[in-house]
Amino acid sequence: MKKFITLGAITFAISITGCTFNLGTPSNTSTASAPTTADNKPVTTTNTAAAPKKEAEAPKEPDPGSSAVKPGTTRVQFAKGDTSAYVTKDILANGSVNFVFNVQKGQTVDYTVAYDFDESDITVYRGEPGDQDSSIPSTTKAPQTFVAKKSGDHRLEVTNTTNKKLTVTLYLDAQ
């Protein structure tokens, strides 16, 4: 009877304290919970050194010679000393892309939006600097020419009117 009471007391004490015996095959993962602090919040520790904190850099002012472009816009840059450039871009189904390029007042700009399939699959609109609400319709495949009326960023918006992804190439020449 003494053995029975002693065994019962040990079992009771173990169940109250929440101790468990890990019997069986050892594993590489620990099942013990993290130690707690006085206010009962878990304490976690790591053996790796903390990464040095980097000071937040002040936002950079845009270069006065170039203006920032909106997301979804592709800026076409002319190489130093070069007057022509081209950019190839995928346009998602029923999507559009804005090509932005900087030219000076009086420059003659030749451009072609090249595409391998039906001209009716895409539409092209040209925008002058400061003309937020007006665009000039343009055609595809055939070379187009205009003389810049204002200095600054000019825009060509190419819209895919199909239900499939398209690839277009914009060829630019500014004299």
What confidence score (pLDDT) does residue 64 get?
Answer: 37
Burial of 57 (0-12, 13-18, 19+ CB in 10 A): exposed
106: left (phi over 0), alpha (psi -120 to 50) or beta: left
pLDDT of residue 107: 93
pLDDT in tens, 59-100: 343 343 444 445 578 899 888 888 899 999 999 999 999 999
Cα–Cα distance for residue pair 101/84, rounded to 1 Å: 11
pTM exceeds 0.85, yes or no: no
Where do the domains of the chain lie, and which CATH numbers do they carry?
A: 79-174 (2.60.120.380)
The arithmetic mean of pLDDT across residues 29-58, rounded, is: 49
Dihedral of alpha carbons 78, 116, 138, 69, sign: negative
Please write the tens of the pLDDT for every residue from 15-26. Answer: 555 555 555 555
- Strand, helix or coil at 6? helix
Q: pLDDT digits over 154-168, tens only?
A: 999 999 999 999 999
Task: Write the secondary structure of 58-71 as one string of H (helix), E (strand) and C (coil).
Answer: CCCCCCCCCCCCCC
